[in-house]
Amino acid sequence: MPLNLLPNSLHASTFPPFPNNSTHHPCLPLQKQPLRVSCISTRFRRKPGTRKSDNSEAHETVRMLIRSFSDKEPLLKSLNKYVKIVRTEHCFLLFEELGKSDKWLQCLEVFRWMQKQRWYVADNGVYSKLISVMGKKGQTRMAMWLFSEMRNSGCRPDTSVYNALISAHLNCKDKGKALEKALVYFNKMKGMERCQPNIVTYNILLRAFAQSRNVEKVNSLFKDLDESIASPDIYTYNGVMDAYGKNGMIRDMESVLSRMKSNQCKPDTITFNLLIDSYGKKQQFDKMEQEWFAHGSR
């Protein structure tokens, strides 16, 4: 569904503010007449058989667009100049590059331009990427708007979209409310067949609760993971160990390490850093030194 934006470059002042005293989060208005479109649930990835040179060409095209935009040429002018070659994969790369440089408004400008192209098809992957970019830039309300707009466009949310939305909320300044909202989405996902939490979902939540030192919730999520179809990976174990380490729970930390090794999951540098840091804080210097040399010999 096309966005109802001004035709020229987007600036913060072009968006009306959100209601409820939200003056720092611009909003894009929805059109009154929804457009029903087909929706696919694919994500940008290199197709089997695609040459590496093709991928390099896509990156080079994006670098060319970024350089043009950086030289004060309006982004839309640059996109229109290369309209015959720019496709979804280029826009994905643009979202990433613009997001890195805090130009999230320009991401929306690219998105608006995409929607006007004949090749555009509403896609969960596009929305997931944009929601992720908005979340990283603290634009949670914009991420929520994109989620709503995605559903209005005919797309059905999937696990990846919900993961992006959860991450967006966890970037809020109010961590208490963010964690509550994240759990609401998590429980909602568990009730939908096409949106079942995957290991990425669990890792996002485990890391968030570890940072908030909420061991009880970490234990609950870790137990819930055992009962799910997802399998823990290195990020899972490190997340749980981080939670235990922050709370001085050395024995529990060592237990997770043993479980990790028994499941053929090899500890990495982060694992050893967590152990060394935790042993140091508890003044268990013999174990700290042991881990130090053990890691150094690998």
What tokens were used for 157? 């949310």
pLDDT of res. 70: 61
Quickly list H helices, the chain.
52-70, 75-81, 88-100, 104-115, 124-136, 140-152, 159-170, 175-190, 199-211, 215-226, 234-246, 250-262, 269-281, 285-296
CA 241-244-245 angle, 5° bins: 80
- Give the residue numbers spanning the domain of 282: 197-298
Phi, psi of 223 (to 5 degrees): -70, -40
pLDDT for 27 equals: 40
Residue 281 lies in a domain: yes
Residue 275 lies in a domain: yes
pLDDT of amino acid 26: 41
Q: What is the pTM (predicted TM-score) of this model?
A: 0.76
Residues 149, 1 contacting (CB under 8 angstroms)? yes
Structural domain tally of the chain?
1
Minimum mean pLDDT among 95-104, 121-130, 220-229: which range? 95-104
Is residue 126, in this structure, part of any structural domain at all?
no
pLDDT at position 2: 47
Number of Cβ within 10 Å of residue 254's Cβ equals 16
Is residue 127, in this structure, part of any structural domain at all? no
Q: What is the pLDDT of residues 57-105, one digit of tens each?
A: 878 877 777 777 765 678 888 888 888 888 888 888 889 888 888 888 8
Specify if 279 maps to a domain: yes
CATH number at residue 215: 1.25.40.10
Do 96 and 125 form a contact (C-beta atoms < 8 A)?
no
Instruction: Please tell me whether residue 40 adopts helix, strand or coil conformation.
Output: strand
In whole angstroms, give the CA distance from residue 173 to residue 79: 35
Sign of dihedral through CA atoms 194, 89, 30, 117?
negative
Q: What is the pLDDT of residue 298?
A: 55
Q: Is residue 292, in this structure, part of any structural domain at all? A: yes
Domain-embedded: residue 78:
no
Tens-place pLDDT, residues 35-61: 444 454 444 444 444 444 556 787 887
Tell me, yes or no, whether 246 lies in a domain: yes
Q: Which residues contact 74 (CB under 8 A, 6 or more apart)?
A: 8, 9
Portion of the chain with pLDDT greater than 90, in percent: 47
Beta-carbon contacts of residue 25 (< 8 Å; ≥ 6 apart): 17, 18, 139, 140, 141, 142
Tell me the DSSP string of 115-154: HTSTT--EEHHHHHHHHHHHHHTT-HHHHHHHHHHHHHTT
